[in-house]
């Protein structure tokens, strides 16, 4: 987890965002399939802590790390097995906010974005 | 057996879609127009859509830009052309969870949604893999999954475990480990006019069946998250279902649909094709319906 602190800000955001996405997918899939949620809770807490630590760096991309911490934290109420509609709505809202913020500094990671012909580096300017 | 009306509605298109994606192996052979469509099935007391299109905001807009999607219209506009209000749709069958098929689920607030459980479970598995393997999940987004959780809580989601008869004569057939891990296609058995098959992305164009060079050798699609072999064998199942009458298989990215069936082109150049009309149902492509 601490490797995030040793990397460039953009790379740190990418790593945190990747971890968040995996947890968001795991959380929702576990809720749909009645899978185990307890192991996810530990990882969510660790991610929130890492986002906060990364955000404290002098050169941090603060908006992105804050958005990632918020999105990760919004998964926590979903791990109760029976999340409220409000908790689900909040998780979706923070997810969208994070995604928007992340795409300001790293390329859209979805297929087909990375198969397209546009210059990803243009997005960074 | 049942009596369903079936329409295919075009909601967007890609004017320059790489042929290599539509048909495996057609590298450097240029592009084709690829419509983006979904199907509407009416009958047996139900109004069903197979796939939903996408919403042209946020991720949908981002992906659409990547693919070069144009002429997008929301569900309320394209469905009005066949006299359907999205709020009246009671059933959504998702062939798979890619943005252009499942990204419009929110347009159908009252529908019960059917998707293969494997389309969910495989993403749960893949999300635990190292970052270097996350291409596997790169076509899905947590937002749809979170939305599905909400729909489950409302009692309006069924995760299918294999083949299922949704309504009499209307079946969801798994096509696992093909285009996606939990893909499915939909078959319809009409007493009046026989069998139809809504392919999802288990084929993109008729050429997948007729052969890349017209030799009759099945040639799969060029974007496969599962196994190419499974794609070809699934195509065989599909072909057998329609007894080799390939135009009874409906690929949602095939522009020649408009040549094979009664079709109306609207002012925005998008199309509606009428595959089958149940007894007593009025045609939607002969000018009876006012267009938006």
pTM for the model:
0.93
> What are B186-238's pLDDT values in tens digits?
999 999 999 999 999 999 999 999 999 999 999 999 999 999 999 999 999 99
Q: Which of A18, A78, A113 comes nearest B63 by C-beta? A: A113
Beta-strand relationship, B5-18 and B91-93 = unpaired
The pLDDT of residue A3 is 55
pLDDT tens track, chain A, 125 positions: 455 656 789 999 999 999 999 999 999 999 999 999 999 999 999 999 999 999 998 888 999 999 999 999 999 999 998 999 999 999 999 999 999 999 999 888 887 665 444 454 444 33
Q: Where are the alpha helices (DSSP H) in chain B?
A: 19-22, 58-67, 75-80, 99-102, 117-127, 142-153, 207-210, 228-241, 257-260
Q: Which of B66, B134, B152 comes nearest A113 by C-beta? A: B66
> What are B1-21's pLDDT values in tens digits?
799 999 999 999 999 999 999
Other residues' Cβ atoms within 10 Å of the Cβ of residue A49: 13
The pLDDT of residue A113 is 61
Residue B85 has pLDDT above 80, yes or no: yes
The pLDDT of residue A111 is 75
Mutate one of A27, A97, A111, A113 to test the B interface: name it (highest B CB count within 10 A).
Answer: A111
**Distance between CA atoms of residues B182 and A10, nearest Å:** 34
Band (pLDDT 50/70/90 cuts) for residue B289 is: very low
Residue B160 has pLDDT above 50, yes or no: yes
Question: Residue B210 to residues A56, B42, B247, B260: CA-CA distances in angstroms?
Answer: 60, 30, 11, 15
Find the angle CA(B29)-CA(B97)-CA(B250) to the nearest 5 degrees.
Answer: 55
Q: pLDDT > 70: what percent of chain B?
A: 98
Cβ within 8 Å, pair B153-A111? no
Q: Provide φ and ψ at B261, rounded to 5°.
A: -130, 155
**Distance between CA atoms of residues B29 and B26, nearest Å:** 6
Mean pLDDT taken over chain B: 95
Residue B288 has pLDDT above 50, yes or no: no
Q: Write the DSSP string, A43-70.
A: HHHHHHHHHHHHHTSTT--HHHHHHHHH
Residue B76's closest CA among B161, B9, B28? B9
Cβ within 8 Å, pair A118-B65? yes
Tell me what ipTM this predicted complex has. 0.89
Q: Do B185 and B198 meet the contact criterion of CB atoms below 8 Å apart?
A: yes
**Distance between CA atoms of residues B232 and B218, nearest Å:** 7
The pLDDT of residue B193 is 97
The pLDDT of residue B62 is 85
Q: How far is B142 from chain A (nearest CA, A)?
A: 5
The pLDDT of residue B56 is 94
The pLDDT of residue B134 is 86
pLDDT (mean) for B101-123: 96
The pLDDT of residue B128 is 87
pLDDT (mean) for B67-78: 96
Structure tokens at B41: 């099935």
């Amino acid at each position: 987890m601490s490797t995030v602190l040793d990397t460039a800000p953009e790379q740190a955001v990418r790593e945190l965002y990747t971890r968040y996405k995996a947890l968001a997918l795991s959380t929702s899939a576990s809720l749909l399939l009645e899978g185990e949620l307890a192991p996810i809770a530990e990882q969510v807490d660790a991610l929130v802590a890492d986002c906060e630590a990364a955000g404290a760096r002098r050169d941090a991309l603060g908006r992105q790390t804050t958005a990632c911490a918020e999105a990760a934290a919004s998964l926590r109420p979903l791990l109760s097995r029976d999340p409220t509609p409000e908790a689900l709505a909040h998780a979706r809202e923070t997810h969208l906010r994070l995604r928007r913020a992340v795409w300001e500094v790293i390329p859209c990671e979805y297929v087909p974005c990375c198969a397209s012909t546009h210059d990803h580096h243009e997005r960074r300017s | 057996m049942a009596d369903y009306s079936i329409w295919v509605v075009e909601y967007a298109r890609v004017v320059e879609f790489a042929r290599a994606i539509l048909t495996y192996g057609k590298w450097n052979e240029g592009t084709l127009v690829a419509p983006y469509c979904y199907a509407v099935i009416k009958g047996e007391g139900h109004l069903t859509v197979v796939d939903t299109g996408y919403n042209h905001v946020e991720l949908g807009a981002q992906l659409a830009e990547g693919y070069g999607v144009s002429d997008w219209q929301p569900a309320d506009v394209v469905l009005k052309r066949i006299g359907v209000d999205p709020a009246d749709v009671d059933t959504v069958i998702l062939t798979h969870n890619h943005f252009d098929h499942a990204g419009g689920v929110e347009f159908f607030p009252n529908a019960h949604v059917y998707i293969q459980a494997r389309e969910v479970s495989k993403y749960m598995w893949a999300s635990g893999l190292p970052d270097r393997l996350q291409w596997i999940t790169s076509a899905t987004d947590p937002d749809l999954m979170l939305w599905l959780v909400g729909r489950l809580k409302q009692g309006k989601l069924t995760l299918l475990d294999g083949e299922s008869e949704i309504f009499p004569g209307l079946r969801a057939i798994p096509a696992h480990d093909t285009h996606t891990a939990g893909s499915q296609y939909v078959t319809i058995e009409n007493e009046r006019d026989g069998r139809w098959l809504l392919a999802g992305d288990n084929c993109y164009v008729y050429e997948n069946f007729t052969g890349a060079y017209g030799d009759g050798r099945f040639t799969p699609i060029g974007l496969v998250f599962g196994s190419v072999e499974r794609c070809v064998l699934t195509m065989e199942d599909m072909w057998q279902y329609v007894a080799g009458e390939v135009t009874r298989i409906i690929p949602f990215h095939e522009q020649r649909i408009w040549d094979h069936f009664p079709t109306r082109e609207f002012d925005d150049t998008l199309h509606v094709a009428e595959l089958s009309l149940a007894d007593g149902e009025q045609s939607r492509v002969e000018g009876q319906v006012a267009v938006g």
